[in-house]
Structure 1
Amino acid sequence: MMSHALFPAGSFAELRARLAALPRYDEAAAAAALAHQNSLLKPPGALGRLEEVAIFLAGWRGTARPRIGKAQAVVFAGNHGVCAQGVNPYPQEVTVQMVATFQAGGAAINQLCRAAGADLSVVALELERPTGDFTQGEAMSEAEVLAAMAQGADAVNAQADILLLGEMGIGNSTVAAALAASCFGGVAQDWAGPGTGSDHAGMGRKISAIEAGLARHQGARGLAALVAFGGREQAAICGAILQARALRIPVLLDGFICTAAAGVLEAEAKGALDHCLAGHVGAEPGHRRLLAALGKEPLLALGMRLGEGSGAAVALSVVRAALEAHNGMSTFAEAGVSDA
């Protein structure tokens, strides 16, 4: 683990000043990877998105032949004051219980990470102290947002070749919908979904809470949206994404909640998510709309809506397949096959 000059930051202004210095895509490495792809024993482009993924990783890792020696998955967990509005069908104690299940190895994400070859850790963020109810005031102070972002950054392993991000937090699909609406426009109904299984009445309470929050915090975009609506896990996801960018580590995003957290950064600074891949598009209705707003094409569409980083973990197997083909196939010359 390591820290980076991005964090700690004493203010949003200080953090914003550092964002411009983040690493950019290595066009030379990507061009070399494309040339290598075009020399492989197949028609150019025949592997479709797998070729694009290999070239994407080349550009961010700065090498024509990227490999995944270490894949890191992190699940951030937080609790939310907006649950006071009855937006959640399950009690907040479930967040604590699920963290214990992650740690014991019994959740879906544990199995999926094992299958995909990712090291999993869980970071619980002050579960005993939920954020403020955003219908009544700000969810967090600027200092609290920055502290959670720093925790997210500190969780990133500098030796990782790819980072998978997930979340857990009862009520956080409501937070995600508010963040998405605040940063990308639209009304509550455009972004609100059933989350962990809200019924009709629960959906009504969720939409009402989002509408109240949007009315109270008009104009909150980017980092300011984290103050207005955010959970600590959403802020931590943002910190981890920025730390990964500083270390040139590509990121696999999970579902709607994770992607809504990431979208805060894109709303703050265009291009902040250029090193991120959308692992999948989930069943939560706002997810596809959000990916379109971000210009991200998902790798998978399996109807998943679990969170936890589960879709990102399944997508990791696709990324590994892309690199196996990229690095393992023979070229026309090596195989003695004419490419004319």
Structure 2
Amino acid sequence: MIRFTGRAAFTAALSALPEPGAAATALARTRQAELTKPAGSLGRLEDIAVFMAGWQDAPRPRIDKVQAVVFAGNHGVAAQGVSAFPVEVTAQMVANFQAGGAAINALCRAAGADLSVVPLDLDRPTGDISREAAMSEAECLAALNAGAAAVNPDAHLLFVGEMGIGNTTPASALCAAAFGGEAALWCGKGSGVDSEGVARKVRAVERALILHLPDCNDAFETLRRLGGREIAAMAGAILAARMLRIPVLLDGFIACASIAPLVNEAPGFTDHCLAAHCSAEAGHVRLLGHFGLEPLLQLGMRLGEGSGAATAVPIVRAALAAHNEMATFAEAAVASGV
């Protein structure tokens, strides 16, 4: 199990990121060239198969074990009226996840993904980032480690989601801190707030940036000051997956925002990630641009929970089915000039 013993260990992990297996990648590309189809005719499905081969270090990668984890946390900034729902909804939705009745439960069942839910101190909201740091150093480290501990080392593919009323506000602040731009460029409707709610969100992010940005000198401190427990947990899980060479399907705006400080510090951080979708949240397309990732889907989704990633799992399954199960030209006795 991956564990960060302190902020120095977290920073060291970011500076020594594993790479995909070069030999497996090359063999997967060779296999794609030998399958009974015109070269490149399966488009991104071919790229996905090669990507999975490299990170699994296997020329014929598997997708028997898909892991989904939803992290939940509460935010002090919710008191600023930045969400359409009260903070009590976080715990209520966690209970719904655990009972199997949420969208992510249904989508995981459809995708063949094993779902777990990790609530993080729901009775203790983070600090209001517009007035104070979200977490102490110990709290941020605990959240990162909760995320890392949740990752199954035997998973063939991982995706993470979140639940936390008000969490698009710290997500927007993290993006602005990592990549710049006015707060208004990163703030959207989130849970469905009206224009006044968006304005409150923008003001909260602006105050947070004025207060904290001078001290956001690395990924850890940025997460600690501007993030949240479930946000840091997602970052910890995605970093642990990289350390274990487990490929990751990235969900929506908040899941992606969780790693914005990590990408800012280590630009190749998303090499083990596929962008599952581009959500309807205003800043997500801009964030994916900074990551250099093209989404697999664009369905106007903005639920979070890992729902977009769950919806994209069958695309990865299709890519590996074609890669592993098609005959080669030689096996099918088909002329390879087709």
TM range, smaller chain? over 0.9
Following superposition, the deviation at residue 15 of structure 1 comes to 2.1
Aligned match of 2:263 in 255, 263, 266? 266
Q: Distance in 2 between matches of 1:187 and 1:142?
A: 27
Q: Quick check: 25-34 or 309-318, which moved more?
A: 25-34
* Matched pairs, number: 335
Q: Please say if residues 244 and 250 of structure 1, whose CA atoms lie closer than 8 Å, have aligned partners that are also in contact.
A: yes
Q: Distance in 2 between matches of 1:71 and 1:18?
A: 24
Aligned match of 2:134 in 130, 139, 143? 139
CA RMSD of aligned residues (A): 1.0
Following superposition, the deviation at residue 8 of structure 1 comes to 3.3
Q: Which residue of 1 aligns with 2:306?
A: 309
Aligned match of 1:329 in 312, 326, 335? 326
Deviation string 1:47-99 (CA, Å, 9 cap, x unpaired) is 00000000001110001100111100000000001112111111000000000
Q: Which residue of 2 aligns with 1:255?
A: 252
SS at the partner of 2:20? Answer: coil
Q: Which residue of 2 aligns with 1:8?
A: 4
Following superposition, the deviation at residue 270 of structure 1 comes to 2.1
Q: Which residue of 2 aligns with 1:176?
A: 171
Q: Which residue of 1 aligns with 2:206?
A: 211
Q: Please say if residues 11 and 220 of structure 2, whose CA atoms lie closer than 8 Å, have aligned partners that are also in contact.
A: no
Q: Which residue of 2 aligns with 1:125?
A: 120
SS at the partner of 1:274? Answer: helix
Q: Please say if residues 10 and 220 of structure 2, whose CA atoms lie closer than 8 Å, have aligned partners that are also in contact.
A: no
1:293 equivalent to 2:290? Answer yes
- The runs of at least 4 consecutive aligned structure 1 residues that moved more than 4 Å come to none
Amino acid at match of 1:314: T
Q: Quick check: 213-222 or 305-314, which moved more?
A: 213-222
Q: Which residue of 1 aligns with 2:278?
A: 281
Aligned match of 2:54 in 45, 59, 62? 59
Q: Distance in 1 between matches of 2:190 and 2:317?
A: 30
SS at the partner of 1:285? Answer: coil
Q: Percent identity?
A: 60
Q: Distance in 2 between matches of 1:264 and 1:99?
A: 27
Amino acid at match of 1:8: F
Q: Report the TM-score, using the length of structure 1 for normalisation.
A: 0.97
The unaligned stretches of length 5 or more in structure 1 are none
Q: Distance in 2 between matches of 1:53 and 1:29?
A: 13
Q: Please say if residues 81 and 134 of structure 1, whose CA atoms lie closer than 8 Å, have aligned partners that are also in contact.
A: yes
Amino acid at match of 2:170: V
Q: Report the TM-score, using the length of structure 2 for normalisation.
A: 0.97
Amino acid at match of 1:253: L
1:47 equivalent to 2:42? Answer yes
Q: Quick check: 238-247 or 97-106, which moved more?
A: 238-247
Amino acid at match of 2:159: L
The unaligned stretches of length 5 or more in structure 2 are none
Deviation string 1:129-168 (CA, Å, 9 cap, x unpaired) is 0000011111111211111000001101111110011111
Following superposition, the deviation at residue 288 of structure 1 comes to 0.2
Following superposition, the deviation at residue 25 of structure 1 comes to 1.5
SS at the partner of 1:273? Answer: helix
Following superposition, the deviation at residue 30 of structure 1 comes to 0.7
Q: Distance in 2 between matches of 1:113 and 1:324?
A: 19
Q: Quick check: 69-78 or 18-27, which moved more?
A: 18-27
Q: Distance in 2 between matches of 1:26 and 1:186?
A: 36
Q: Which residue of 1 aligns with 2:20?
A: 25
Q: Which residue of 1 aligns with 2:194?
A: 199
